Amino acid sequence: MKYEFYNTLYDFEDDIELYFLHERMLHEKYLKSKNSQNQSNRVDRYTRVFNKDLNYVWSQRAATGSIEWARPTVQSYDEEMFEKVSEDFTMCWKRTDKKHDTLIIHLTSFAGHEGRLTSPLTNISEKIINLDTDLLIVNEDPFRMPEILYPSMMVLGVSSICDTIPKTASQIKKYIEHDYKNIVLYADSKHAGSVLSIAYELVDLNPTVIVTGGQTTYDWDTSPWVKHYLKWFYRPEHLKDQFLDMHDVAIMHFIKSYKFKQFGVDKRFTDPYPMINEYKVPVHFFYGKYDTDYARFKNYVSDIKSDYIKMYEVDYKISKTQTHNIKPYVDRKILPKFINNLS
């Protein structure tokens, strides 16, 4: 099947064509960043940092022809604060002498190369690290290829060793050496769906999920981004001049959802929310009041009839143009209170 992006039809049964679509998407992303830099006095601090990191990543990628230059940084961690790094370098444990009642399993989310190729394994908020809990960080291997599939929002696991969600959950369980009063899985954005799939695999441990808004389904048949695109793609003739502005994260979501369907991935991993009444995992879903990009995913969850889902609107945005990422606010203001109030 062929789908249109950047005024070009790409054959989705041909992985080489999808490779070139991915590269075209990255080029467009760089051009937008470059244009933004020319207006540096009019962009917020978050965007300036993003542009700086993006430029660094692309300059290194252009000079070396690969992303291997990033491995020393990505595979580094604070050895004084963390230990027990997994063989596949996707998980590590906070050092502590205390025996805590609560364990936080933090699924790290870096949407683009500028994040995942410039961040060490333990790059999470100090507000989380300093909580009076045990802490397990879970990341995706950013060097896994091909990039049309990986990172896979953890749908295909976190590494070539843990290449499924059940295997990922099994590795997580190896870190849990005593009974906890509370086990909290905390995730955001691209892992807003897969965190629940992982929780289902840990259901015998009675986990609770805290998630900030993002991609709640990766399923070709239910994804709001896929549906929105297909409605545009199959538009009637009199609307053929209609333009669809689809950002890079949505394009990659479209590609990966297609591949998941092609591979026949179980809906338990691509579309977990409709199964919540079966597994009975409590979910506390925080979404941004001003986040229009992911609103359809939030609506998809809120339409599910379940007493196990609680929705909370968060009145926060980083800037006028950065409205999606509410996690910094949740890290500072909401998560500590939530952890302290756990019974």
Type of residue at 261: K
pLDDT score recorded for residue 34: 82
Type of residue at 299: N
How much is the pTM?
Answer: 0.95
Q: How confident is the model at residue 177 (pLDDT cuts 50, 70, 90)?
A: very high
| 43-67 per-position pLDDT tens digit | 677 777 778 888 899 999 999 999 9
Tokens standing for 104? 């936080």
Q: Report the range of poorest mean pLDDT among 114-123, 143-152, 257-266.
A: 114-123
Select from 275, 260, 333, 341 the least CA-distant residue to 308.
275
Q: Domains in the chain, please, with CATH?
A: 72-340 (3.40.50.1820)
Tokens standing for 16? 């080489």
pLDDT score recorded for residue 274: 98
Select from 164, 172, 165, 156 the least CA-distant residue to 84.
172
Q: How confident is the model at residue 40 (pLDDT cuts 50, 70, 90)?
A: low
Report, as an integer, the average pLDDT of 297-312. Answer: 98
Q: How confident is the model at residue 39 (pLDDT cuts 50, 70, 90)?
A: low
